[in-house]
């Protein structure tokens, strides 16, 4: 099978089907209401990075919304690996989606007897390579992060309208990413990434109680920090703390670790990717080449 000409194969509810046949019902509550959960997962050099952590978070999210996946985590891990093998991918982005499934036009999840399980394995390049060497220009937007008292940020849900509205604001001013504040005015996260800043030997990121997702890459960077002489901590902070930081960067499964060099027209540090950020980028990339579940 030639990977350049073979159709992309998608896992859907127990079988692999060509991309063109991977369709869901218009009555699926994931489509109608964004009722479901998902994970974005990366494979590097023939290994799936932090697969168990992603699977654990998926099942926590599902339990939080009383969504029965009806498959064990171990079996679902095997389906992820099978999908990667079917597409002959060693370096890939995997989108694992579990929706409430097909029901009626009402909200009641009890009308959806079976979840819809989808696994997509493909390539992704969220940011062009020059963004990693030059850095990102980001802005703080007016769209506030959903209150963690209304919807836990620990639930990685299919409904991303809050983030999309912030992304639209970023698009309108011509930048790639936007910082979202919570209702109290503290920094929560970006539209698709967690945010960090560095001052001295302190590496600081918002706590999940501020509205930040408990990101897998976020946690990985915090684990790497001590080996690079940095003290990682979760702390509430405002845009002022970012403006006066020595360095700043974003993290995410698709984004990995990407420097930020300007926020709301304020130059961060020297206006170039900081030395400590670059060390974290190298340390993270080294780790992705060594750690993971073999495909």
pLDDT at position 7 is: 92
Domain count, the chain: 2
Domain span at residue 195 reads 130-289
Give, for all 295 residues of the chain, the pLDDT tens digit. 444 568 999 999 999 999 999 999 999 999 999 999 999 999 999 999 999 999 999 999 999 999 999 999 999 999 999 999 999 999 999 999 999 999 999 999 999 999 999 999 999 888 999 999 999 999 999 999 999 999 999 999 999 999 999 999 999 999 999 999 999 999 999 999 999 999 999 999 999 999 999 999 999 999 999 999 999 999 999 999 999 999 999 999 999 999 999 999 999 999 999 999 999 999 999 999 999 999 9
Do 105 and 163 fall within a single domain?
no
Residue 179 forms beta bridges with which residues?
A: 140, 190
Do 86 and 160 fall within a single domain?
no
Residues in the chain: 295
Burial label, 162 (beta-carbon count in 10 A; 0-12, 13-18, 19+):
middle
Residue 189 forms beta bridges with which residues?
A: 180
Is the residue at 3 inside a domain? no
Do 145 and 73 fall within a single domain?
no
Do 147 and 205 fall within a single domain?
yes
Catalytic residue positions, numbered:
156
The dihedral over CA atoms of 146, 149, 152, 157, expressed in degrees to the nearest 10, equals -50
Do 135 and 277 fall within a single domain?
yes
Do 83 and 25 fall within a single domain?
yes
H-state helical runs in 98-182: 130-134, 161-172
Burial label, 166 (beta-carbon count in 10 A; 0-12, 13-18, 19+):
buried
Q: Indicate the SS3 state at residue 267.
A: strand
Do 105 and 134 fall within a single domain?
no
Domain boundary (122, 143, 177) is at 122
Locate tokens 């670790």: which residue? Answer: 257
Do 146 and 284 fall within a single domain?
yes
30: domain CATH number is 3.30.470.10
């Amino acid at each position: 099978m030639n990977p350049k000409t073979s159709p992309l194969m998608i896992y859907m509810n127990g079988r692999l089907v060509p991309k063109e046949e991977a369709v869901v019902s218009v009555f699926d509550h994931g489509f109608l209401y964004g009722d479901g959960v998902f994970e974005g997962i990366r494979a590097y050099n023939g290994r799936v990075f932090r697969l168990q952590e992603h699977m654990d978070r998926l099942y926590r999210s599902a339990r939080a919304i009383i969504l029965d996946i009806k498959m064990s985590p171990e079996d679902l891990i095997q389906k992820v690996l099978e999908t990667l093998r079917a597409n002959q991918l060693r370096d890939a982005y995997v989108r694992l989606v579990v929706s409430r499934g097909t029901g009626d036009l009402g909200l009641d999840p009890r009308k959806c007897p079976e979840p819809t399980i989808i696994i997509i394995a493909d390539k992704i390049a969220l940011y062009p390579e020059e963004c990693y060497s030059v850095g990102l220009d980001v802005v703080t937007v007016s769209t506030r992060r959903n209150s963690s008292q209304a919807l836990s940020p620990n639930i990685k849900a299919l409904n991303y309208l809050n983030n999309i509205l912030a992304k639209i604001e970023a698009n309108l001013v011509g930048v790639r990413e936007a910082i979202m504040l919570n209702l109290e005015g503290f920094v929560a996260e970006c539209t698709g990434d967690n945010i960090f800043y560095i001052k001295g030997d302190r590496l600081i990121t918002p706590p999940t109680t501020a509205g930040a997702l408990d990101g897998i890459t976020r946690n990985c960077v915090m684990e790497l920090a001590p080996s690079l002489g940095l003290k990682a901590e979760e702390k509430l902070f405002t845009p002022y703390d970012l403006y006066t930081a020595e360095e700043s960067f974003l993290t995410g499964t698709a984004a990995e670790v990407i420097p930020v060099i300007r926020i709301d027209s304020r130059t961060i540090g020297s206006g170039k990717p900081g030395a400590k950020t670059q060390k974290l980028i190298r340390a993270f990339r080294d780790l992705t080449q060594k750690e993971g579940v073999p495909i």
